[in-house]
Amino acid sequence: MKSAPSASTITFAQTLDAMRQDLRRYSADAPLLVVLVKATYAHPALAGILYYRIGHWLWARRRHPLAWLPLVCYLVFYPLVRMYSGLELWPFTSVGPGFQVLHFGPTVIHPAAVIGSNVTMLHGVTLGVSIIGISNIGAPRIGNNVAIGTGASIIGDITIGDHATIGAHAVVTSSVPEHTTVLGIPARPVMPAGNKRREPGAAATTAQHDEQGATAELAVPVHGEPGRSVRSPRVGEVRQP
């Protein structure tokens, strides 16, 4: 997983480019101002993402005397932005460009978490540390091009591989390989990496973009009815076994 530039090295040009890539995740071709206005109403979490980018750049310069006043102002207004956007994302967290959080909801990201490039989250996601036992203390690391469904919780010192998919309301407490979809509590693979065969009743999904660039895969198998699955409207295309 290629991580984002650290707060100590990120430049203003990199910050602007990351903001541009964030906006483009919500629309690939509309003017950026139009994207910003639409997202303000449909996906207020974008405001939290853009605010984070500014804070991340300021945090990298926190030792400079001239940075103290802007950084203090940033921290003063941070609670208001957090309430408006529904996104808890601190300026010292590492987040790659092209970050997308869809809809409004209490999305909580632990400050020590690491998020790669082009990651999509739906509302209600939690990236947190384990408080049970001492073997898994730490925050998660999310790879590139990962999709995380509504209400999912990713907990502990684990790694989510590139191109992985976390289903809605899954509770993930162990690492997930690349190109793997996991569902359930606790989360289990539906389509492990490299596995070309699915067991009866398992439903694989294909992440698709909606008109705003959203991606998700929320299809789940129906117990006792092999080959049948259900999905929420406008989300993913279900492939039957």
pLDDT in tens, 34-46: 888 888 888 899 9
Cα separation, 26 vs 35, in Å, equals 7
- Average pLDDT, whole number, for the chain? 80
At 51-97, the pLDDT tens digits run 999 999 999 988 888 888 999 999 999 999 999 999 999 999 999 99
Among 36-45, 117-126, 183-192, 228-237, the range with the most confident prediction by mean pLDDT is 117-126
Q: Find out whether the peptide bond into 111 is cis, omega within 30 degrees of 0.
A: no
Cα separation, 86 vs 46, in Å, equals 10
Give the pTM: 0.74
Which two structure tokens, joined as six digits, stand for 63?
């030792």
CATH fold of 12-190 reads: UDP N-Acetylglucosamine Acyltransferase; domain 1 (2.160.10)
Which two structure tokens, joined as six digits, stand for 152?
């999912």
| 213, pLDDT greater than 70 | no
